[in-house]
Structure 1
Amino acid sequence: MARSMGLAYAATWVIAVSGAGALHAQQPSDDGNASRERADAIVAKMTRDEKIALVHGLFPPMAAGKSEHELIPSAGHIDGIPRLGVPLVRESDASLGVANQVEQRKGDVATALPSSLATASSFDPEIAHQGGAMIGAEARAKRFNVLLGGGVNLTRDPWNGRNFEYLGEDPLLAGEMAGAHIAGIQSNNIVSTVKHFAINSQETGRMVADARIDEAALRMSDLLAFQIAIEKGNPGSVMCAYNKVNGDYACANKHLLTDVLKKDWGYRGWVMSDWGAVHSTVKAANAGLDQESGQELDKQIFFGAPLEQALADGKVSQARLDDMVARYLTGLIETGAYDTPAPKTAQKIDYAAHARVAQRAAEAGIVLLKNDGDLLPLSGVRKIAVIGGHADRGVLSGGGSSQVRSVGGAPIEIPLGSGAASSFARITYHASSPLKALRKAMPNAQITFVDQRDVEGAKKAASEADVAIVFAVQWTTEAQDAPDLSLPYHQDALISAVAAAQPKTIAVLETGGPVLMPWRDQVPAIVEAWYPGQRGGQAIANILTGKVNPSGRLPITFPAAASQAPRPEPVGLDKLNSLEAQAASNPANASQYQLQSFPIDYVEGADVGYRWYEKQGETPLFPFGHGLTYTSFAYRNATLSGGKTLTLSFDVVNTGKRAGAAVPQMYVTREGSDHPMRLAGFQRIELRPGETRHVTLSAAPRIVADYDTALPGWRIQGGKYKVALATDATDRSRVFTATLQAATMKP
């Protein structure tokens, strides 16, 4: 990730968007060995000074006068070498669109996708791919050629402030979706990253926290998500994380960067640091870090003069420097960024076509959690009370380095007075009003709006209407975790009060992740809209009115109580709060109150999310994979075969009266083991009423296997396996068994 004005920056098949928004295949193809040979030949022609210049980059907002080229206010800048054809590189944050967090570039807008959790809820890699292609096209038009997008860290804790930027709790789903997103970005001949490597799972103390987990568990969870994303998307760069992993900073962790990434996985591109994540020269370089990003945010420029001295002293070899530069060039060459430089002037963008990409993603990702009595879709309703959530103005977005200044502007933008995110984040809404969209979609209905602060007015309006719709919001941001899982601003009480006044109440949630719902039994219909992006209002209205059949499925478990999760609150939050209180009481010496390194023991190991709930025997509020529609589906004629692979074949039938999307899910575990079931396959299938589709899912081999550190590698134990054909992670209505042959695979 990368940040804006001064804290620490933190920063993924194949479509390019052109003309009227047409999507077309355009993936650079290149033999990896040829790319590296070409890169080595270029490096051989460089002076040492030229090499050193390529392994540390500028942070433009703090780098005035350090380049003869224009420094676009953005995440990063690295000058090229014109005599050798090495291009100038400009980097932007771009998880959800080309970022412009606190409007460093005045007037520069971009298309804002819904949150990554919303995209993951589609269970459709093509949705992720099209979103990435759209972002990449806009980035190139804005003269950027490296994008810091492709977050794939697994959700281990429901309160993580950056959950909205990531793709949920399952390594197969997250890896597949991230890989498609990366490939979409890179179809525009620019570089995408995958980040933050690795186990960057909370924001509290993220610069000093030490993530502790054993090797096998790490390989079977977070690292597996990265591995799949890299295989599917082939990102030009990998961004290492802020935190420590088993005692070493991620950006100086030889096991992660060299042993796993470069040796075991054969990764050819370059490892860039997160912004402000470098703490050493010799250790980081020899561990496998190839480039120091946003150098002004580190305590010193570690890969400048100190690296020159380390080379002179023999502490870093010339071969290592050459490899650092060659990897950088290889990433540029393989993605097409080397041979297709970014334009010298900004290009025209078809924002209307791109908005349709964002709206489609939002509609595919909105999850209908509950719909008692078929209250939805709205039909024949004359009076509707819309309450709260600033639904009259727009829809909420998440904060931090991924913040997009969307087309249409920000009708609400609230600066932060304090906190770790205050220097680069604002509470920001996109100008897409659900109220206006509902009025347009239902011209014959009387639709009123009441602000959430007017509880008595809300109750009165609800009681006088046929239906009440309460919009509830939870703002989350990079650099800060949510302190708890409750809706802020007394919104739980508001929903309960409205539901007491109007039995036909619908709750629409715009949240960064799971929230508790003490009012669940009072409310017949609940819609999780996530942060729905710049066309969120229209998407929500289309779902509520039935113009679009909801098809999202939860990529993350919603707990019934905070105590169900492995950690009920952010680790280290008590220490941080105490230090902040001390600093406030002694402002003259506030700098001495710094959070020191502390451990986070990931006791759940590989059993992340829904696996943890199954293992602990906990019943969540809503399970992973859950999502309702306005039609119905039947699964028929299922057969399971074994042998070398587990193959599940079945028919999916739309037995309802509306077209809709089914998302059959395949969960696997070995009989006699203590492993919870794991998602081993899934597919999104759109069917017309009465239509039947034959589907075959094959279990991903590494999901069936366990990681064996003694091999080292993946080991599938021979024997009987149980396979569930399911609609969510708790569905065991269709379970089959088959025998699988023993096998091993490389790491």
Structure 2
Amino acid sequence: MPRPLAIALAASCAFAGVGGGTVHAQALPAIPGAATAQSRAEAVVAKMTLDQKIALVHGLFPPMAQGKTQNELIPSAGHIDGIPELGVPLVRETDASLGVANQVEQRKGDVATALPSGLATAATFDPDIAHEGGMMIGAEARAKRFNVMLAGGVNLTRDPWNGRNFEYLGEDPLLAGDMAGAHIAGIQSNRITSTIKHYALNSQETGRTVVDARIGEAALRESDLLAFEIAIEKGQPGSVMCAYNKVNGDYACENHHLLTDVLRTDWGYKGWVMSDWGAVHSTVKAANAGLDQESGQELDKSVFFGAALKQAVEAGTVPETRLDQMVTRYLTGLIETGAYDTPVPEHAQPIPYGVHADVAQRAAEAGIVLLKNEGGILPLADTAKRIVLIGGHADVGVLSGGGSSQVRSVGGAPIEIPLKSGAAASFARVTYHASSPLKALREAAPNADIRYIDGSDPAAAARAARDADIAIVFATQWTTEAEDAPNLSLPRDQDALIAAVAEAQPHTVAVLETGGPVLMPWIGQVPAIVQAWYPGQRGGQAIANILTGKVNPSGRLPITFPESAAQAPRPSPVGLDRLNALEAQAAANPADASDYQLKSFPVDYVEGSDVGYRWYEKKDETPLFSFGYGLSYTQFAYRNPVVTGGKTLSVSFDVVNTGERAGSDVPQIYVAKAGSGTPMRLAAFRRVTLQPGETRHVTLTAEPRIVADYDTDLPGWRIAGGEYRVALARNATDRKMVFTTQLDPATMKP
């Protein structure tokens, strides 16, 4: 990372990392290789009593665990006592991928730097940005005395209304795997452990603890499992967190195929598998299937890996060799990541929040996507002297997503609304970060008269828009863990607000702060649309810089925006109607509310491995905006392409900035076997930053497992020899430059 910001960040991470002083890399203990880590772990386990082993394979949920340990309990996600006499460290676990979480302010007054949403980071198409974000939040976790971070969310977007889409990294396995791997590596550069989660197919929040995700083996390998496989290879996370849901009939945390056949046998993973909080359902089956540690034991129906596991070991239904393996994997993950040998500080350390906020702002600016810009309405011209901002609480801050990833950011929460009902009510609030787009725009355009109205009255908003030179409507959609969005429409009649403003003011910009795709019935009336996602700690400044042209937009969609909900594989959240009916019955009969619990139900993933943009191509559907799409204030050309086949597929070409502004482009290549009828797949991408007139020669080399198909008879990956179609493209539907080449047949291990 040669950029000055990356150098400053590395210095800040070293400062926050150990004891509050600047620490040079050579002063830290070396991290052992995998073989050394495992042998060290085995030697420690050999010295343990049965009770000591059992103590390490189940952890506390601190808010409900008072009096269960002699050590300090920091209000957070998890706690596992160490064994000081054997050198085993105490482990403190914190959520999540977007920063050091403090969801409902369990730790009074404790703030942290909030990254933009996972989708915003994915929209950068830049693993370096993901790595920087990981470095930053990992440094803050260590400074706050945490040594395990429950990060690395990589579940693919299969349904556009998944309430947790904002946490994840989009619909494509290559993009999600590359970005997650870089993020995890950044976190673990602080000598703490990161998870990767939620393994696997945790693709909806409605009934997430009972839903049975059904999919064929080849399709699963080519989609969600491939994202995990790539991310594990690139990030080397110390732990894998298994999911709540069932996969093909078995709960993910007791699924032998996922936990042992795939993760251990095929991928050779050495770290430990921890459960999600409340995701354990058995002792013997879970342990023998490959689960190594029960997390947040108070949230399970009983402590499955405490006394019950000890009894199972003594009875022989769980071999003691399996228990030894569980503990060895736990210690191996801690040793491999450096968490074992690099104790966290005894007291919280100072954090350079200003430097860290720059990291969050950079990610937001690079991930904001310009979706539409008719007539060059953006960037805002100096001639626009009267600007009105409407709605979205743009006067005080920017929206963030809810759930375990919620960060209480520096500056506090100008808006925080508790939930009165629903599955997320106990741990989520509608929360805004204190980064005002209004204030930031006034600073960025000091000569303009910029005003704000709240948008609650569409008629008043239309009048204000008519009197301005330009109107900017901020529209929001709050989504959260534990609940799916009921539909893809903007809530609270915001579509009508945007339409009313656009009718009154032809120069209207819509800025969308959403957890994922939304429908846009007003799109024909609005000349400029900006997808800002949940933009994080400095979201207001990032949005202002994009709107005024101080930063050239360069984000690309990591997720398809459908034109209608009917285009998706499932037209609405599966199980939501059942859940709503049960909640209505429980409300009518509160004394018997416990009787109205959602029972297990299946979701058949009919799209198989054709997730997202592949589904749209397969069904010949034209989305509103396609995966990989995004505009710029400059223009780029691709010239002199050369496609090479044989053993490796690559495309070499020149990228030229033909416009008058510096900017970043993301060339992409998509591949499919000629004549196969299968949708094309993203096989490589690269973010390229160019000055006006500058040319850069780029070579994109296809990921071979994307070119291949998974063959269950091998088993493994098979590239069929012959002719392949290759598109050098700007997005998943761009087919202006399509070539053919010959590839040699090849096979690869699972």
Task: Write out aligned runs for 1:225-240 (5 A).
Answer: 225-240=227-242
Please name the residue that 2:208 is paired with. Answer: 206
1:688 partner letter: Q
Rate the CA distance shift 1:204–1:224 in 2: closer, same or farther, 3 A: same
Please name the residue that 1:18 is paired with. Answer: 13
Q: Structure 1 CA distance, aligned partners of 2:487 and 2:640?
A: 45
Say whether residues 1:38 and 2:40 are aligned partners.
yes
The structural deviation recorded for 1:674 is 2.0
Please name the residue that 1:134 is paired with. Answer: 136
Q: Structure 2 CA distance, aligned partners of 1:567 and 1:657?
A: 44
TM-score (norm 1): 0.97
Say whether residues 1:574 and 2:577 are aligned partners.
yes
1:436-455 deviation digits (Å, cap 9, x = unpaired):
10011111101111112022
2:268 partner letter: G
Q: Structure 1 CA distance, aligned partners of 2:198 and 2:548?
A: 39
2:521 partner letter: P
Q: Structure 1 CA distance, aligned partners of 2:81 and 2:353?
A: 30
Please name the residue that 1:410 is paired with. Answer: 413
Say whether residues 1:678 and 2:681 are aligned partners.
yes
The structural deviation recorded for 1:70 is 0.5
Q: Structure 1 CA distance, aligned partners of 2:119 and 2:74?
A: 30
3-state DSSP of counterpart to 2:111: coil
1:64 to 58, 63, 66: 66
The structural deviation recorded for 1:568 is 1.2
- State whether residues 20 and 353 of structure 1, in contact with CA within 8 Å, keep that contact through their aligned partners in structure 2: no
- State whether residues 15 and 184 of structure 1, in contact with CA within 8 Å, keep that contact through their aligned partners in structure 2: no
State how many pairs are aligned.
735
Say whether residues 1:161 and 2:150 are aligned partners.
no
1:636 partner letter: R
Please name the residue that 2:3 is paired with. Answer: none
Task: Write out aligned runs for 1:217-366 (5 A).
Answer: 217-366=219-368
Q: Structure 1 CA distance, aligned partners of 2:287 and 2:516?
A: 36
Q: Structure 1 CA distance, aligned partners of 2:189 and 2:11?
A: 6
- State whether residues 168 and 555 of structure 1, in contact with CA within 8 Å, keep that contact through their aligned partners in structure 2: yes
Q: Structure 1 CA distance, aligned partners of 2:248 and 2:427?
A: 30
The structural deviation recorded for 1:95 is 1.1
2:472 to 469, 474, 478: 469
1:451 partner letter: D
Q: Structure 2 CA distance, aligned partners of 1:433 and 1:350?
A: 21
Please name the residue that 2:669 is paired with. Answer: 666
The structural deviation recorded for 1:15 is 5.3
- Structure 1 residue runs of 4+, over 3 Å off? 13-29
Q: Structure 1 CA distance, aligned partners of 2:88 and 2:25?
A: 26
Task: Write out aligned runs for 1:483-494 (5 A).
Answer: 483-494=486-497
1:539 partner letter: A
Moved more, 467-476 or 450-459: 450-459
Say whether residues 1:557 and 2:560 are aligned partners.
yes
1:336-395 deviation digits (Å, cap 9, x = unpaired):
000001111000100000000000000000000000000000012100010000000100
- State whether residues 114 and 362 of structure 1, in contact with CA within 8 Å, keep that contact through their aligned partners in structure 2: yes
Q: Structure 1 CA distance, aligned partners of 2:532 and 2:94?
A: 27
Q: Structure 2 CA distance, aligned partners of 1:366 and 1:59?
A: 36
Please name the residue that 1:3 is paired with. Answer: none
Task: Write out aligned runs for 1:708-747 (5 A).
Answer: 708-747=711-750
2:536 to 524, 533, 537: 533
Question: Which structure 2 residue ranges, 5 or more long, are not aligned?
Answer: 1-6, 17-21
Q: Structure 1 CA distance, aligned partners of 2:381 and 2:136?
A: 34
2:120 partner letter: A
1:487-515 deviation digits (Å, cap 9, x = unpaired):
00100000000000000000000000000
3-state DSSP of counterpart to 1:103: coil
- State whether residues 15 and 23 of structure 1, in contact with CA within 8 Å, keep that contact through their aligned partners in structure 2: no
Rate the CA distance shift 1:553–1:706 in 2: closer, same or farther, 3 A: same
The structural deviation recorded for 1:245 is 0.1
The structural deviation recorded for 1:29 is 4.3
- State whether residues 13 and 135 of structure 2, in contact with CA within 8 Å, keep that contact through their aligned partners in structure 1: no
1:661 partner letter: S
Please name the residue that 1:519 is paired with. Answer: 522
Task: Write out aligned runs for 1:336-735 (5 A).
Answer: 336-380=338-382, 381-735=384-738
1:17 partner letter: S
Please name the residue that 1:4 is paired with. Answer: none
Q: Structure 1 CA distance, aligned partners of 2:719 and 2:15?
A: 48
Q: Structure 1 CA distance, aligned partners of 2:118 and 2:12?
A: 20
Q: Structure 2 CA distance, aligned partners of 1:60 and 1:560?
A: 45
3-state DSSP of counterpart to 1:154: coil
Q: Structure 1 CA distance, aligned partners of 2:352 and 2:672?
A: 47
The structural deviation recorded for 1:30 is 2.7
3-state DSSP of counterpart to 1:522: coil
3-state DSSP of counterpart to 1:17: helix
3-state DSSP of counterpart to 1:521: coil
Q: Structure 2 CA distance, aligned partners of 1:120 and 1:106?
A: 31
TM-score (norm 2): 0.97
Q: Structure 2 CA distance, aligned partners of 1:691 and 1:522?
A: 36
Identity %: 77
Q: Structure 2 CA distance, aligned partners of 1:16 and 1:565?
A: 45
Moved more, 20-29 or 434-443: 20-29
3-state DSSP of counterpart to 2:452: strand
Q: Structure 2 CA distance, aligned partners of 1:511 and 1:23?
A: 40
Please name the residue that 1:113 is paired with. Answer: 115
2:350 partner letter: K
Q: Structure 2 CA distance, aligned partners of 1:276 and 1:303?
A: 13
Q: Structure 1 CA distance, aligned partners of 2:334 and 2:237?
A: 10
- State whether residues 430 and 478 of structure 2, in contact with CA within 8 Å, keep that contact through their aligned partners in structure 1: yes
- State whether residues 16 and 24 of structure 1, in contact with CA within 8 Å, keep that contact through their aligned partners in structure 2: no
- State whether residues 62 and 73 of structure 2, in contact with CA within 8 Å, keep that contact through their aligned partners in structure 1: yes
Q: Structure 2 CA distance, aligned partners of 1:393 and 1:452?
A: 14
- State whether residues 197 and 241 of structure 2, in contact with CA within 8 Å, keep that contact through their aligned partners in structure 1: yes
Q: Structure 2 CA distance, aligned partners of 1:555 and 1:279?
A: 34
Q: Structure 2 CA distance, aligned partners of 1:626 and 1:647?
A: 22
Please name the residue that 2:83 is paired with. Answer: 81
The structural deviation recorded for 1:18 is 3.3
Rate the CA distance shift 1:228–1:721 in 2: closer, same or farther, 3 A: same
Rate the CA distance shift 1:203–1:294 in 2: closer, same or farther, 3 A: same
Please name the residue that 2:197 is paired with. Answer: 195
2:99 to 94, 97, 100: 97
- State whether residues 17 and 133 of structure 1, in contact with CA within 8 Å, keep that contact through their aligned partners in structure 2: no
Q: Structure 1 CA distance, aligned partners of 2:197 and 2:276?
A: 9
Q: Structure 2 CA distance, aligned partners of 1:118 and 1:314?
A: 49
Q: Structure 1 CA distance, aligned partners of 2:611 and 2:54?
A: 41
Rate the CA distance shift 1:267–1:16 in 2: closer, same or farther, 3 A: farther
The structural deviation recorded for 1:675 is 1.1
